[in-house]
Homo-oligomer: A and B are copies of this chain.
Amino acid sequence: MTCFRPLALAVLWLIAVPASPGLAGTLEASVGPLKVEEMADRLHEPWGLAFLPDGGFLVTERGGALWRFEAGGSRVQVTGTPQVWAYGQGGLLDVMVPRDFATSREVFLSYAKPQEGGAGTALAVGRLNDAGDGLDDVRVLFEMTPGGARPQHFGSRIVEGPQGHLFLTIGERGHAELAQDLQRHNGTVIRLNRDGSVPQDNPFRGQAGAQPEIWSYGHRNPQGLALAPDGRLWAVEHGAMGGDELNLIEPGVNYGWPVIAYGRHYDGTKIGIGTEAEGMAQPVHFWDPSIAPSGLAIYSGALWPDWAGHAVIGSLKFDYIAVLDLADGSEEGLRSRETGRVRDVREAPDGTLWFLSVKRGGVFRIRPAGTP
């Protein structure tokens, strides 16, 4: 794998020009003029976004609430969600609507599940009732065991794999060393069957002393996970200072944290043994300075063919959306007054790009300017 050293000077900063305040901003991008529209407001720490086949969408708030927005704009609270542990970075986190939702009505949620003395990253599923205001038959499919008392690094993005497996990212919960311990779920991407059971072909299944759910390990805090149109799985993770990473996720691979890293500790000291080691994968891209990446989409829509296969990543730190060309590592930055602390980025079924802003407490859509 190649590591593209990012060229800070090469980033194109595209600043939105306020058009009709409170409604939409516009920005000039390499693909032409874009419009940023507010699709939902008055949300507190929105964390995850998922589209429904009827044109509506679901949004989680970290503090515990799940909201359903109808295509027309009205909002409904969805009750029956699991009890969460809402401290620090913990709470209700990602939401995923599977491809068969129209028939299954299933909705998947990741969250910090209360445990004795703390919480563990967990994955639950429930069926959205006919009224669309409650989840029925909620079941816990997976629970990190044990979790821990620290309120950080829950990871928590959910992706439905090409064959219907469930992938979930789990952060190392503030215990870096556990990301190298296969007996623990800390710092891993896990893979489950749709019913929560462990697939026969998981890489560590049957290996003594290893958790069978683990698909990859050595992660710090992966808060972006996305499937590319070619079926490959990508993740972004928060690294130490100067070491945020984009990784191509492959089974059984060790991504090195905290033995190797491009970042430094926040006190400036070196991490582990350096930037590379035998048996540990290199990132495809890293960010120095760190951008605090959260949310990831690999663009596959028809609206912007020039961005096909590009990684679209939210930045919690620099208030922008990075569009990264995976072919050459060049990055284009989309920034408008709406892109404050971007928590999640998703491609909608119609090819528009949607994102959640923590600062604005809203859901926004980016579309070509000029289209209705």
Contact = CB atoms under 8 A, between A and B. Distances in A.
Max chain B C-beta neighbours (<10 A), residue from A61, A81, A87, A149: A87
A186 to B, nearest CB: 19
A268 to B, nearest CB: 32
B65 A85 contact: yes
B77 A114 contact: yes
A85 B61 CA distance: 9
A77 B82 CA distance: 12
Contacts of A79: 82-83
Contacts of A114: 61, 63-65, 77
Nearest to A66: B83
A85 to B, nearest CB: 5
Contacts of A118: 42, 44
Contact of A116 (B42, B116, B117): B42
A293 interface: no
Contacts of A149: 42, 44
A258 B117 CA distance: 40
Contact of A64 (B77, B80, B83, B117): B83
Contacts of A82: 79
Contacts of A42: 116-118, 149
Interface string A79-120: 111111111001100000000000000000000001111100
A282 to B, nearest CB: 38
Interface string A13-46: 0000000000000000000000000000110110
A264 interface: no
A75 interface: yes
Contacts of A87: 44-45, 63, 86
Max chain B C-beta neighbours (<10 A), residue from A66, A83, A115: A83
B44 A64 contact: no
A278 to B, nearest CB: 41
A276 B95 CA distance: 53
B86 A86 contact: yes
Max chain B C-beta neighbours (<10 A), residue from A86, A116, A118: A86
Given A75-B116, A77-B114, A63 B90 contact: yes
A207 B106 CA distance: 47
Contacts of A81: 83
3 cross-chain pairs, A with B, having the tightest CB-CB distances, nearest first: A86-B86, A42-B117, A65-B114
7 contacts: A61-B85, A63-B84, A63-B90, A63-B91, A65-B85, A81-B83, A86-B91
Given A64-B83, A75-B116, 16 more contacts: A41-B117, A42-B117, A42-B149, A44-B85, A44-B149, A45-B87, A63-B85, A63-B91, A64-B84, A64-B86, A64-B91, A64-B114, A65-B83, A65-B85, A79-B83, A86-B91
